[in-house]
Amino acid sequence: MSKQILGIYLDKTTLQYACAEKKIVSWHLQKPAPTLEPFGESPDGDIQGLKDFLRKIPAQKNRQLFILLPGNRFVSRDVRLPAMALEDALIAVQNMLDLVCHLPVAEIFHDILLCKLPDKTINALIIYAPKRDILPVLDIVRETGHERSLKAVAPIALGLGVWLNLQKQPMPLGLVTSGDEMDISIFTTNGCLYSASVSLAPPAEGTSGGEKNDEAVDMGREPLHLKGLIAAVSSQMKFSDDRFFSLHPGTGLQTLVAQPCHGLKFFQDIPGPFMAAALAYGFNPGQNISISGSPTRLHIFPWWKTWLLIGFFSAILPIVWTWHTTRQIDVNMAEIAQLKTRNRQLSDVIRPLEKNRDADAGKKLLIDELNTFMNTRPKVFAWINGIADKVPAGTWFSRLTLTDRDLVVQGQSKDAIRVLEALRNLDVVEQVKLMGTVTKGPDGMELFSMSIRMHEPELSDRTGQKPAEKE
């Protein structure tokens, strides 16, 4: 939603205004009404000029209205307080209003601007005005339907202070302005320390032109009176008079050079310092002063905004965390699916290799066992090879048992007698005999068992191991 700020400076003869609107994130100059420019000046001032101007502007909920008046409409009193909390300082100043103000409190509108100084003390600026001077302005605002938009009625000096701070002018800074009367103000980054409206004495009668000071050209002897006032104010406020500037040339003071406002470049397009100050007061980051009967509101740390932010982040954080976690889970699940697919592919490649490895391990174990057996019984394989060469073709030994020098074999052949005769013809065989009966198998083969005694005199394992059986 857009936000609009309308600043008005009203004196006895003129009305100056400027309007800006925030669209999305940036501020721009904006017409307050279709028939008006974003900024301008009306020759009709005072109450009637304000009424005519506000009637041209339709009321809007998103508008903030600031009306700034000349300094001579107000009276200010500065009070210096020791270091304390701002809330306590406000109570202390309110208790001394009857002593400080020259009018009864019931007959004035007032506000109190508190400014902390570098030494921790507090400068309290009491600004007040008679109700009879402010009520006509409030009545006009109410009659034209802008009562809800009105945010402040204040002296122009406060708007100038905000304007200078937006320019990042070196502070503290003293400023002299010429309006209905001469205004002298002192500003810091935290607010206004001093503000007074004075009437300078006219040139003394009988002063000849040759007696005028060079600095007093076009202004008679006013510069001398002004310098005396500045010296008195500087002494009272312990402020260097070298830091005083003027908005108007010819005062004998340094002329203030306006700078671009920080982040609000459109202020460069506004020609007059008073209309710029009226608009700038809507951008006041400090305490908002309004001489309109509203209570004093301190600009302290907004704890409710902190709790609002905490509540917002507490509500949004679980949502963001849940979204992030869900997204991370989806990413992890996708990675897991890819890893499972890759694992299956590798398993398909590794499984045959593992079978080959296991087969190779079994073969290696068998080879190791055979090598061990051959090393311990070298003659046994010679016997077996000799038997295999002599037996008839088709003979199969399914079991061989070696005990000392006796071999017991079980097998099958087409003719068991021929096997028996072949074994008896071996030189290494001492004796062969059948054990049990010879039977016929389903395939017609003869099943037999034979006992073979070898000629070798010693077949025992020289290592003392028990005889081994081989199937």
Q: How far is it, in rounded angstroms, from Cα 169 to Cα 173?
A: 8
pLDDT value at 32 more than 70: yes
69, 141 Cβ separation under 8 angstroms: no
Taking only the tens place, the pLDDT of each residue in 346-384 is 988 898 888 888 888 888 888 888 787 777 666 777 777
Residues 198-202 have a mean pLDDT of 63
Residues 45-58 have a mean pLDDT of 92
Helix H or strand E segment including 358: helix 303-376
* pLDDT band at residue 179 using 50, 70 and 90 as cut-offs: low
CA dihedral 415, 420, 421, 422 (to 10 degrees): 90
What is the chain's mean pLDDT, rounded? 84
Q: How far is it, in rounded angstroms, from Cα 226 to Cα 240?
A: 15
* pLDDT band at residue 452 using 50, 70 and 90 as cut-offs: confident
Taking only the tens place, the pLDDT of each residue in 107-127 is 999 999 999 888 899 999 999
* pLDDT band at residue 17 using 50, 70 and 90 as cut-offs: very high
282, 151 Cβ separation under 8 angstroms: yes
Query: Cβ neighbours of residue 68 under 8 Å, at least 6 residues apart?
Result: 7, 8, 9, 10, 153, 154, 155, 156, 158, 159, 274, 277, 278, 281
pLDDT value at 203 more than 50: no
Can you name the residues that pair with 454 across neighbouring β-strands?
429
* pLDDT band at residue 209 using 50, 70 and 90 as cut-offs: very low
| Higher-scoring residue by pLDDT: 159, 422 | 159
Identity (one letter) of the amino acid at 204?
A
pLDDT at residue 464, rounded to an integer: 45
Rounded to 5 degrees, what angle do the CA atoms 54, 57, 61 make? 105
pLDDT at residue 313, rounded to an integer: 86
Of 28-42, 91-105, 166-180, the poorest mean pLDDT is in 166-180
Query: Cβ neighbours of residue 191 under 8 Å, at least 6 residues apart?
Result: 113, 114, 115, 125, 161, 286, 287
pLDDT value at 30 more than 50: yes
pLDDT at residue 218, rounded to an integer: 39
Token digits of residue 114: 């508190």
DSSP, res 289: P
Identity (one letter) of the amino acid at 8?
I
| Higher-scoring residue by pLDDT: 304, 81 | 81
pLDDT at residue 459, rounded to an integer: 42
pLDDT value at 406 more than 70: yes
Token digits of residue 33: 């009404």
pLDDT value at 396 more than 90: no
* pLDDT band at residue 240 using 50, 70 and 90 as cut-offs: confident
pLDDT value at 335 more than 80: yes
pLDDT at residue 462, rounded to an integer: 44
Query: What is the residue whose two structure tokens read 């399914």?
Result: 398
pLDDT at residue 301, rounded to an integer: 63
Of 198-212, 258-272, 343-357, 381-395, the poorest mean pLDDT is in 198-212
Of 104-108, 149-153, 287-291, 301-305, the poorest mean pLDDT is in 301-305
Query: Cβ neighbours of residue 421 under 8 Å, at least 6 residues apart?
Result: none
Query: Cβ neighbours of residue 299 under 8 Å, at least 6 residues apart?
Result: 286, 287, 288
Local structure of 82: helix, strand or coil: coil
Local structure of 238: helix, strand or coil: coil
Distant-in-sequence contacts of 454-459, Cβ < 8 A, 24+ apart: 454/383, 454/405, 454/406, 454/407, 454/428, 454/429, 454/430, 455/427, 455/428, 455/429, 455/430, 456/379, 456/405, 456/428, 457/405, 458/405, 459/377, 459/379, 459/402, 459/404, 459/405
Residues 310-316 have a mean pLDDT of 87
Longest CA–CA separation in the chain, Å: 173
Q: How far is it, in rounded angstroms, from Cα 181 to Cα 175?
A: 14
Whether pTM exceeds 0.75? no
pLDDT at residue 454, rounded to an integer: 82
Local structure of 4: helix, strand or coil: strand
Residues 381-404 have a mean pLDDT of 81
List the one residue out of 349, 211, 278 whose CA is nearest residue 6: 278
| Higher-scoring residue by pLDDT: 107, 455 | 107
Can you name the residues that pair with 26 across neighbouring β-strands?
23
Q: How far is it, in rounded angstroms, from Cα 76 to Cα 297?
A: 18
Q: How far is it, in rounded angstroms, from Cα 375 to Cα 459?
A: 13
pLDDT value at 289 more than 80: yes
